[in-house]
Amino acid sequence: MDLQVLTYLVVGATFALYIGIAIWARAGSTSDFYVAGGGVNPITNGMATAADWMSAASFISMAGLISNMGYGGGLFLMGWTGGYVLMACLLAPYLRKFGKFTVPAFIADRYYSKAAAATAVICLLVASITYIIGQMTGVGVTFSRFLGVTNEMGIYLGMGIVFCYAVFGGMKGITYTQVAQYCVLISAYTIPAIFISFQLTGNPIPQLGLGGSLVGEDVSLLAKLDQVVTDLGFSEYTTAIPGSKLNMFVYTISLMIGTAGLPHVIIRFFTVPTVAAARSSAGWALVFIAILYTTAPAVAAMARMNLHATVNHAVMDGGDMFAPENSLIYEERPAWMERWEVTGLLRWEDKNNDGRIQYYNDRTTNPEVLANVERAGWAGNELTVNADIIVLANPEIALLPNWVIALVAAGGVAAALSTAAGLLLAISSAISHDLMKKIWFPDMSEKAELLSGKIAMAGSIVVAGYLGLNPPGFAAGTVALAFGIAACSIFPALMMGIFNKNMCKYGAIAGMSAGLLVTLFYVFAHKGIFFVRGTEFVGLIGGPNSFFGITPEAFGAIGALINFGTAYVVSKFTPPPPDHIQHMVEDVRTPRGSKSITGAH
């Protein structure tokens, strides 16, 4: 069957499934809308949490980033996975025991302040809206490539599908839809990986194939890849660290605590009936997440090897990779290259007018590579490959069957839509429940609150679509920036609210405000605000990464330290929380029946 027709059928079938589930599980109350009635099975919730958490960044971008960055790309694996463990151990059980629907609701009661709740809502909205830009971009990329529509039309289609199952189904519809989306995305991720691992190493288990030897050769996959990339002037794949070690460390911490502060994931722990179920749900989610995250390094390395082998015929046989006859003639390029060129994510420029594709690192200072380049008459790297196409194009590069390619398209869409729906619900609940119900209109009826939640969700979809169509200037790092914003604002307030009974409302408000403002200033000073010195554009704060070489995407960890420090200092010079708040914090943190609570001997 034709690839385009097959893709329409597979993606269309998944859309029909999502909408059908939403109709079956539509929300009839605010409890259904916000937390699916609080009665979701822990295994089901674990699967839904995995889909909610594994966004387009995890499915589409992460393996591409690791493929481009090599070892240094592992910071995304460590940061995102470590952050989930941090959230599951230090936050989820206590927040579930506290019993509030949303993060701002916890902030409001713990810090006994509507102003603190409003500050938390602002932080949540900034983080969620920034994050959702990346999801809508992922939807546009996937649709434009696989469905043959424009990027804009792809985003409109994504908005329509999310509207159907999120607005009508609420958390109840989203939960069961995300279970289906997890099944789709994990199948789409692992099946191509199994095929490609078997092709390259003879081992169908990608995690083992990554450490195995190439078929017919007495050399490991990673050793061969190291040789290939270094011969072409790139950093050694297994040891490369982008930037400084300090930046890599701070970046990892930012992703970790940002993950622990993501509101759309935290809210999932309120959909199960008990605290024990919340812990069980967290464990199951980690199992489901691990299937994709342990596969990603293999996908990254194998895709990088296949890409080089496609462009340069001497990669696998160990011949002269700079010999003219071993480079790919542009007019004879494979069909997958033609298809991806249409999207603009893969580009070729014939710099030496030889009609062949030269793919190497033209910024290298390695004298041996430079001598080979001069001998070959190359005039610079001619191929630009966006990291976002690695996973989506991988089955095409490996010449896998059309049904596998169609499945990957459905998986990419499922990953983006599942997280977008969770984010939209977090935004909706913050507006309808935390602002309108708790602050502006406390006498609002349940029916009116449910309606306002659906209206807020619909409005959020429109805003998300607009931002996807018209991304801001710093959109390239939006996902990492979203984690940084959550790290610098929400995470410290939650941690201090649970583990420091003396933290008062003034400290929390000052900390969240300081962390958010300083982080946003650092980001915009690099990305969007410049002044001119002579004819040179200079960053507002003294050039790129001017704070000890730390990139804007990694600055959330520094913002978190500022949040913690500001909150601590302010709390020392302001009245402590009332006694009943301090007792409430002790009760949430200490198991029932403990001697410290009951006074028993």
DSSP string, 93-162: HHHHHHT-SSHHHHHHHHTT-HHHHHHHHHHHHHHHHHHHHHHHHHHHHHHHHHS---HHHHHHHHHHHH
Q: Which helix (H) or strand (E) holds 191?
A: helix 170-201
Indicate the DSSP class of residue 431.
I
Q: Across the strands, what pairs with 523?
A: none
- 595, exposed or middle or buried, with CB in 10 Å at 0-12, 13-18, 19+? exposed
3-state secondary structure of 213: strand
Q: Amino acid identity, residue 376? A: A
pLDDT the model gives residue 560: 93
CATH class of 3-305+395-592: mainly alpha
What are the E-state strand segments in 468-557? 530-533, 536-539
Mean pLDDT of successive 10-residue stretches along the chain, which has 601 residues: 76 79 64 57 84 74 82 83 82 75 81 87 83 73 69 76 67 75 86 91 91 87 90 86 81 87 75 77 86 90 89 83 87 86 83 89 89 88 83 81 82 73 73 71 72 76 76 55 85 90 92 91 63 44 61 86 94 90 80 47 39
The CA-atom distances, in angstroms, between 289 and each of 61, 211, 282, 370, 504 are 16, 21, 10, 43, 36
Q: Cβ(296)–Cβ(67) under 8 Å?
A: no
Q: Cβ(340)–Cβ(146) under 8 Å?
A: no
pLDDT the model gives residue 595: 47
Q: Which of 114, 120, 154, 118 is nearest to 136 (CA)?
A: 154
Per-residue tokens: 461: 């979809």
- 581, exposed or middle or buried, with CB in 10 Å at 0-12, 13-18, 19+? buried
Query: Can you tell me which residue has the tokens 């809308």?
Result: 33
Residue 471, number of CB atoms within 10 A of its CB: 16
pLDDT the model gives residue 146: 67
Q: Cβ(526)–Cβ(223) under 8 Å?
A: no
What are the E-state strand segments in 206-330? 328-329
pLDDT the model gives residue 567: 94
pLDDT the model gives residue 484: 84
107: Cβ contacts below 8 Å, ≥ 6 apart: 116, 117, 119, 120, 493, 497, 508
Domain boundaries, the chain: 3-305+395-592
3-state secondary structure of 537: strand
pLDDT the model gives residue 346: 85
pLDDT the model gives residue 600: 45
pLDDT the model gives residue 563: 94
pLDDT the model gives residue 409: 79
Q: Which helix (H) or strand (E) holds 385?
A: strand 383-385
Q: Round to whole Å and give the CA distance between 216 and 193.
A: 20
Q: Across the strands, what pairs with 357?
A: 328
395: Cβ contacts below 8 Å, ≥ 6 apart: 192, 195, 196, 404, 405, 408
Q: Round to whole Å and give the CA distance between 570 and 116.
A: 14
530: Cβ contacts below 8 Å, ≥ 6 apart: 537, 538, 539, 540
Q: Across the strands, what pairs with 384?
A: 347
pLDDT the model gives residue 546: 59
pTM (2 d.p.): 0.79
546-559 b/e (C-beta count within 10 Å ≥ 16 → b): ebeebbbbbbbbbb
- 148, exposed or middle or buried, with CB in 10 Å at 0-12, 13-18, 19+? middle
pLDDT the model gives residue 547: 62
The CA-atom distances, in angstroms, between 443 and each of 157, 174, 215, 269, 436 are 37, 28, 70, 27, 10
